[in-house]
Each structure stands twice: as structure tokens, then as C-alpha cells.
């Protein structure tokens, strides 16, 4: 469902109209008065960004000291409307040198009107890419004196970039050394019981790329996902090779990926943007390889003493190691004194967060470390109430390890000039919400 906006208004904090653009004749010109009367003057701006007044809906967002209001008279996609606002502000900032406020709008109202005519047609959003629009709207905005960002130069051959299928990449790129960097970054979200059983676990990951390639290259990425390997074996009429396969859930791609080819061949093929970008995101819910197991034991010895024992074991390969391991063990607020014994790393009591903080700079694989602590509490006369204990939290980063088991089988680069490329692949797993109940 598209936005189908009837009008868009730019207002200052007093409600004065800075710029407005009417795209349809189904709303009157006094819609901004209704917004001021029923929303701004009632101080309900922070309650909900979507309001219905009469037969119209108002979507509004505050950016710096400016309110951007979209008025629609039909059922419209709210998420698409706010996405349009965010992308439009990013476009204006690229023209204004990084600034977007009331002064920037007043100094560039002619340019803004020209951009509003291009990025929305009869209320429907169009191309908002700064790289593409700057190819044929070459007027430079009045830049803020505090901006140090250099002005982008216009690129020739604008027609192909505007009307072609590869609008995210310009022609004529030349590099002395053609390189592709690919990072698979995963975050593990875990909730584990005190006995070591997994209550909830999933992995969210993203494939990040940084391309420095000449010309218009065509890349093809192969992963060890189950559907892709099965489709490849069908096309080649041979059985799938043995090896671990994974099932990807909730996959989303960058606009450069050829979705038609992915649906038919299950192959991630694309013409990449220049520089750094996010190729895809995914989620894994089955077959997660946990990098760490944590076994806590907490004993209360009367009203004023506690014994805390925490064992952390690394499950990944002995050839790997984790960096920046931090274990936060919650203790009562009335903690007075602590004594530690750790087999590796350092530990201390942080009163500001009521936790024992255990830090290990480098944690090798297939090893275990333990922390033993005696906690002395301040004696209180009030009766102790049973309360839920906060879970133990863990932070870490494990290079060259993926909790999902995702692996890059191949990364092929083809370009008509046939130059040689250097491919770099890196894997990183870090803690998202890694919690263990006490």
C-alpha cells in the first residue's frame, strides 16, 4: 500500500509554515490550521505521531527544530510515510552540507521545492537517492558555515544512472587494486536456566560488504544455506555434497540483489554499490552453536553472607579465542564487601550497577574459567522479601566463528574487462542479549 500523500508541510516550533506542497486536491489549504489547533496547541505532539482529524490523517515527525507533517485522506502505509520522511531529510542534508533546521530551509526554499517535485509524484514517493538526484539537480544548496563536508561533484552520464537498473552505482569507477571485503557479523540472543538448559535462543546476522571494484562488476555469493544447496543440486543434476547446511529465516536483501534470480536459482547475485553497504540480514532459530556455557551457583549463608561461584566454559574450537569477555553477576543492593578469586582475568565490585564485573581480555577455546566470591551484606531489620533475581549478563566477541554455522562457499566476481580481484572474508560473533538465570 503506497503513501498517496495529499500534502506535506514543514513547520517551525511555533506552528508557522515554512514550506508546503499540495499534491492532490482532496484536502483544503487550511489543513495546517487543524494540525495547529488539535495537536500543537493541545500539547499532544509527543503522544502519538499519527492523528486523525475529520476525514484526514496527519503523520508528523520532529527533526531538529522543524516539524514535517504529511496529510493523507485515504488509508495509507504509515511506515512507508515515515521512511519517506527519513530519506527526504537525509537527501536535504546532503545538499545543505549536513544541516537540516529552520535556517537551512529558509535559505534553500527554492531548491527544496524543486526536490519535492522530484521525490514525490501525485503523492507517491519516487527515487530519493542523493547520488542519483545530484546527477540532474546540480544546484548547490546554501551550506551551513559550521559544515566541513565537501560538496559532492556531479557525475557525467546521468541518463543511464537515472533510468537504468543500476541506479545505486555510477559508471567509470577505476581502482588500481580491485578488492572485496565481506564480513558476516552475528549476535547471539540467549536465555539459559541456572542448570544450563536453553530456554530461548536465536541468532541475528548481517552480511556487510565493502567493494572497491572497477567498472560494473557482477558478483555471485554462495552460502551453505539448505535451500540454496538443494536448488544448486537440482540444476546440476547431482546430489548435494555432505556438510552442514542451515536454514535462514526472515531474510532481507539490499536493493542491488537480483530477486528474480534468487527466487529461481536461490543464488545471491548483484551489482554492488561502491564502498560499504549491508548486503543482507537474516535470523536463525534452529541449530545454534553457543560459544559459551555458564554455570552459576549462588548460596545465601544467613542474612549477611553470600557465596558466588560462576564457571564459564568456551565451546568453540581450541584454535579460536574470544576477546573482551565481560561477565556481570548481580548482587544485592546492600552489599558491603567482596572478596574474589578468579582463575583468569580480573574482577571487581561495581556499586553503581550492583554487579560483580569479571573481565577476561582473551578467552581461548575449549577452556574454562571460574570465579569464586564471598559477599558480605549490610544487616537490615526489615524482613527479607522474596524477589526475582536479575540474570547474569555476558559480553564477548569471537572472531572467525559463527553461532549459526553460516559459511561462504564462494564469492565470484565477473567483469567484462576480466581483471583479477582479491576477496577477504571475515566472521564475527558477539553477544546480543546473552543472559543466564541465577
The pLDDT of residue 342 is above 80: yes
Q: Given this model, what pLDDT does residue 116 score? A: 87
d(CA 335, CA 358): 17
In the chain, the percentage of residues whose pLDDT exceeds 90 is 38
3-state secondary structure string, 275-322?
EEEEEEEEEECCCCCCCEEEEEEEEEECCCEEEEEEEEEECCCCCCEE
| Planar angle of CA 245, 246, 249, nearest 5 degrees | 155
d(CA 169, CA 161): 8
The pLDDT of residue 193 is above 90: no
Pairwise pLDDT comparison (77 vs 280), residue with the higher score:
280
d(CA 32, CA 16): 9
d(CA 51, CA 39): 8
Q: Given this model, what pLDDT does residue 201 score? A: 93
Say if CB 370 and CB 340 are below 8 A apart.
no
Pairwise pLDDT comparison (404 vs 237), residue with the higher score:
404
179-288+402-436 fold = Immunoglobulin-like (2.60.40)
Residue whose C-alpha is closest to residue 216's, from 269, 259, 274: 274
Predicted confidence band of residue 144 (pLDDT cuts 50, 70, 90): low
Range 12-33 average pLDDT: 80
Give the CATH number of domain 7-134: 3.30.450.60
Q: What is the pLDDT of residues 329-339, one digit of tens each?
A: 999 888 888 99
Q: What is the pLDDT of residues 151-166, one digit of tens each?
A: 444 444 444 444 445 6
The pLDDT of residue 60 is above 90: no
| Residue at grid coordinates 549478563 | 393
Pairwise pLDDT comparison (37 vs 318), residue with the higher score:
318
- DSSP SS3 for 94: helix
d(CA 206, CA 404): 12
- DSSP SS3 for 135: helix
In the chain, the percentage of residues whose pLDDT exceeds 70 is 85
Q: Given this model, what pLDDT does residue 383 score? A: 56
Grid coordinates in use for 323? 576477546
The pLDDT of residue 205 is above 60: yes
Q: What is the mean pLDDT of the chain?
A: 83
The pLDDT of residue 237 is above 50: no
Predicted confidence band of residue 381 (pLDDT cuts 50, 70, 90): low
If one counts every other C-beta atom within 10 angstroms of the C-beta of residue 397, the result is 15
Return the domain boundaries, the chain.
7-134, 179-288+402-436, 292-378+389-399
- DSSP SS3 for 33: helix
Pairwise pLDDT comparison (58 vs 213), residue with the higher score:
213
Predicted confidence band of residue 385 (pLDDT cuts 50, 70, 90): low
Q: Given this model, what pLDDT does residue 157 score? A: 47
Most confident region among 10-14, 106-110, 173-177, 227-231 by mean pLDDT? 173-177
Say if CB 13 and CB 65 are below 8 A apart.
yes
Range 253-259 average pLDDT: 89
Please, which residues have CB within 8 angstroms of residue 161's CB and are 6 or more apart in sequence?
131, 132, 135, 155, 167, 170, 171
Superfamily holding 292-378+389-399? Mu homology domain, subdomain B (2.60.40.1170)
The pLDDT of residue 241 is above 80: no
Pairwise pLDDT comparison (90 vs 167), residue with the higher score:
90
Q: Given this model, what pLDDT does residue 240 score? A: 43
Range 56-66 average pLDDT: 85
> Could you tell me the pTM of the whole model?
0.68
End-to-end Cα spacing for the chain: 47
Q: Given this model, what pLDDT does residue 94 score? A: 84
Exposed, middle or buried, 130 (CB in 10 Å: 0-12/13-18/19+)? middle
Domains 179-288+402-436 and 292-378+389-399 share a fold: yes
Please, which residues have CB within 8 angstroms of residue 403's CB and are 6 or more apart in sequence?
186, 188, 203, 284, 288, 289, 290, 291, 429
Range 209-237 average pLDDT: 75
The pLDDT of residue 140 is above 80: no
Amino acid at each position: 500500500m503506497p503513501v498517496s500523500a495529499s500534502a506535506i508541510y514543514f513547520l517551525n516550533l511555533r506552528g508557522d509554515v515554512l514550506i508546503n506542497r499540495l499534491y492532490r486536491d482532496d484536502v483544503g489549504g487550511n489543513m495546517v490550521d487543524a494540525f495547529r489547533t488539535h495537536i500543537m496547541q493541545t500539547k499532544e505532539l509527543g503522544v502519538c505521531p499519527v492523528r486523525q482529524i475529520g476525514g484526514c490523517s496527519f503523520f508528523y515527525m520532529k527533526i531538529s527544530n522543524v516539524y514535517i507533517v504529511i496529510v493523507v485522506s485515504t488509508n495509507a502505509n504509515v511506515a512507508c510515510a515515515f521512511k519517506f520522511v527519513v530519506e527526504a531529510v537525509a537527501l536535504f542534508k546532503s545538499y545543505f552540507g549536513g544541516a537540516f533546521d529552520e535556517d537551512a530551509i529558509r535559505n534553500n526554499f527554492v531548491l527544496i521545492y524543486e526536490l519535492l517535485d522530484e521525490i514525490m509524484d501525485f503523492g507517491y514517493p519516487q527515487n530519493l537517492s542523493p547520488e542519483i538526484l545530484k546527477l540532474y539537480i546540480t544546484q548547490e544548496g546554501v551550506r551551513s558555515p559550521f559544515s566541513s563536508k565537501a560538496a559532492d561533484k556531479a557525475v557525467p552520464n546521468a541518463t543511464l544512472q537515472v533510468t537504468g537498473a543500476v541506479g545505486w552505482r555510477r559508471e567509470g569507477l577505476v581502482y588500481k587494486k580491485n578488492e572485496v571485503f565481506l564480513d558476516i557479523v552475528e549476535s547471539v540472543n540467549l536465555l539459559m536456566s541456572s542448570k544450563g538448559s536453553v530456554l530461548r535462543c536465536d541468532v541475528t546476522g548481517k552480511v556487510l560488504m565493502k567493494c572497491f571494484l572497477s567498472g560494473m562488476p557482477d558478483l555471485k555469493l554462495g552460502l551453505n544455506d539448505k535451500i540454496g544447496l538443494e536448488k544448486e543440486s537440482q540444476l546440476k543434476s547431482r546430489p548435494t555434497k555432505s556438510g552442514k547446511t542451515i536454514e535462514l529465516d526472515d531474510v532481507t536483501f539490499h536493493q542491488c540483489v537480483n530477486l528474480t534470480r534468487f527466487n529461481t536459482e536461490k543464488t545471491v547475485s548483484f551489482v554492488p554499490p561502491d564502498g560499504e553497504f549491508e548486503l543482507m540480514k537474516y535470523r536463525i532459530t534452529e541449530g545454534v552453536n553457543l560459544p559459551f556455557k555458564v554455570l552459576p551457583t549462588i548460596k545465601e549463608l544467613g542474612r549477611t553472607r553470600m557465596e558466588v561461584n560462576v564457571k564459564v566454559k568456551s565451546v568453540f574450537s581450541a584454535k579460536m579465542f574470544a576477546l573482551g569477555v565481560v561477565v556481570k553477576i548481580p548482587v544485592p543492593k546492600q552489599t558491603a564487601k567482596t572478596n574474589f578469586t578468579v582463575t583468569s582475568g580480573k574482577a571487581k565490585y561495581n556499586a553503581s550497577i550492583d554487579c560483580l564485573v569479571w573481565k577476561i581480555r582473551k578467552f581461548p577455546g575449549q577452556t574454562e574459567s571460574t570465579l569464586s566470591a564471598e559477599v558480605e551484606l549490610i544487616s537490615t531489620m526489615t524482613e527479607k522479601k522474596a524477589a526475582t533475581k536479575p540474570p547474569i549478563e555476558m559480553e564477548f566477541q569471537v572472531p572467525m566463528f559463527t553461532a549459526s554455522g553460516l559459511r561462504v562457499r564462494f564469492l565470484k566476481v565477473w567483469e567484462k574487462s576480466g581483471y583479477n580481484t582479491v576477496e577477504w572474508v571475515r566472521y564475527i560473533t558477539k553477544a546480543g542479549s546473552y543472559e543466564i538465570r541465577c
